[in-house]
Structure 1
Amino acid sequence: MPSRLLRLPEVVARVGLRRSTIYKRMSDGRFPKCRSLGAKCSVWVEAEIDAWIENVVRSGNQADH
């Protein structure tokens, strides 16, 4: 099944982090980067978010990855 593109509200709901935390971790290289689909449209690849969540689970629930 192909991966979907997720908008910010869905990413926030899935990972339990606030918008500001997501963008801070993206800039630190600790969260998947978003893609721009236009001037005001950013999306994340669902498979990358799923992999990040799986990594958090595997590493002992440390969300700092």
Structure 2
Amino acid sequence: MSIYFAEVRRLILALLITYGGRQAYRLLTTGAVTIDIGVGRRLRRLGPHSCQIAAAPETVFDVIASP
């Protein structure tokens, strides 16, 4: 009789682990949970960024304004 209960307990544990893993995978793939491992991101200060452009102002405006 105790062998039957041990098998049932083992089956329930396996089902719970499988269900938990499935739910964790679903949450990660849908973006509901994010894990930040610090790879692929960089921090920049807020504020205006300036750069030198070696083109006429009219050309720069035309390029920015084009769709």
Question: How does the TM-score come out when normalised to structure 1?
Answer: 0.28
Higher helix residue share: 2
Higher strand residue share: 1
| Structure number with bigger Rg | 2
Question: How does the TM-score come out when normalised to structure 2?
Answer: 0.27
